[in-house]
Structure 1
């Protein structure tokens, strides 16, 4: 790799690292190009050398996050484990990765689930599906060969499972961050996740209970939800959080 290419990639990564920091601190809507270049100490021309717009910057940030996940999941697929274990590891790894990045994931979720950003949401979903549906398909093909899954078309079922996963993700987010009536509880989130894992098992024709989410991966999200709600509605939610934690 040439020195010029190395420098380009390094500088682009610096933009993305700083953008992630600002998205977490301020949210996407309140992160301006001016604030970004000010923190980096560069010119606006330097920004446009790497990105066409603020939206292009967001796409790059999301794709980088997804690519990190893809690298972790690829290791699972290439392992010698049976398909059911791979699927179990895959689901737990998704939650583990998102939990590690939950502050950024929360801000991105706020943005993507806003009805005004439907086009952005569609673009993000398509990019994610291009990375992850082929991984699902490989696991399903293996599971059919091992007699663990009963499906006629692994490619079609992989897409269906991906769609179920997207619904799961959105509904979990809404339970955590968008429900106005009450603070989310771990039991509520567990029941939601159990419903979705059961749906995936049935679509695969797999043994019930083979896909079980580690509840410990959900616990940090409850605290994040409390803090997020308190930040966005300090008068009502801060009092509720204080009561819940006292």
Structure 2
């Protein structure tokens, strides 16, 4: 008997199955027919939900972004933590280190996915900027920060970080990458008007780039 599933359930099933196949076979080697066979659906059903294999990849990236955003919002609303600690926790939360994320990021870095890559970076920037800006404004009010342009300064800081630390744009060696991290920590404190090295010392410990030690 034919199984009828709700729209969102079927769509998510296709996305998750496709991502698993991209991981197993590689994106280029995976065809729409492979996805159809694995899900157990007809071609017409697939194209009812997605325009192409690339469209499924796009949807996977969108889901990944939503997952990160959910984490970020949960951290941002935790008023028991200081603004500094929340900013650091958010930076940790947006680090993507699981296998499916690696596959999606690798695909975005390919030349034929340049537009998707660009759109994803813009989406992440637009997602994170207001969250960081709200925390900065809170820190301004409590006297922890002294940043006159929270939203604009966070746009500048995040766009720099997202671009410089993106292996698909720049591919620094480990020593240069360490210096980039240190410079970003230094810049973060200057932008926020913090002078006690609280941010840079905590971030350096997390990212293992402090104290002159190699990564």
Return 5+ residue gaps in structure 2 as ranges: 209-215
Equivalent residue pairs, number: 202
Determine if contact 1:83/1:140 at 8 Å carries over to the other structure.
yes
Look up the SS of the partner of 2:94 in the other structure. Answer: helix
Q: 1:194 aligns with which of 182, 185, 192?
A: 182
Q: CA deviation at 1:12?
A: 1.0
Aligned equivalent of 2:212: none
* Distance of 2:37 and 2:132 partners within structure 1: 42
Aligned equivalent of 1:133: 129
Q: CA deviation at 1:104?
A: 2.1
* Distance of 1:55 and 1:43 partners within structure 2: 18
Return 5+ residue gaps in structure 1 as ranges: 219-246
Q: CA deviation at 1:44?
A: 1.0
Counterparts of 1:90-105 in structure 2, within 5 Å, are 90-95=90-95, 98-99=96-97, 101=98, 103-105=99-101
2:27 aligned with 1:37: no
* Distance of 1:83 and 1:40 partners within structure 2: 45
Determine if contact 1:164/1:200 at 8 Å carries over to the other structure.
no
Question: Higher relative contact order at CA 8 Å, sep ≥6: structure 1 or structure 2?
Answer: 1
* Distance of 2:10 and 2:148 partners within structure 1: 47
Aligned equivalent of 2:191: 203
Aligned equivalent of 2:108: 112
Q: CA deviation at 1:210?
A: 1.3
Determine if contact 2:64/2:101 at 8 Å carries over to the other structure.
no
Counterparts of 1:170-181 in structure 2, within 5 Å, are 170-171=166-167
Aligned equivalent of 1:213: 203
Determine if contact 1:172/1:192 at 8 Å carries over to the other structure.
no
Aligned equivalent of 2:74: 75
Report the RMSD for the aligned CA atoms in angstroms: 2.7
**TM-score between both structures, scaled by the size of structure 2:** 0.81
User: Which has a greater percent of helix?
Assistant: 1
Determine if contact 1:66/1:128 at 8 Å carries over to the other structure.
yes
* Distance of 2:70 and 2:93 partners within structure 1: 11
Aligned equivalent of 1:54: 53
CA deviation vs aligned residue, 1:109-154 (integer Å, no higher than 9, x gap):
2222233432221211222223222111111111211222222211
* Distance of 2:169 and 2:52 partners within structure 1: 27
Q: CA deviation at 1:213?
A: 3.4
* Distance of 1:21 and 1:13 partners within structure 2: 12
Aligned equivalent of 1:122: 118
* Distance of 1:42 and 1:34 partners within structure 2: 10
Q: 1:166 aligns with which of 162, 165, 175?
A: 162
C-alpha change, 1:172 and 1:148, in structure 2 (3 Å) is farther
Aligned equivalent of 2:211: none
Q: CA deviation at 1:173?
A: 8.7
Q: CA deviation at 1:192?
A: 4.4
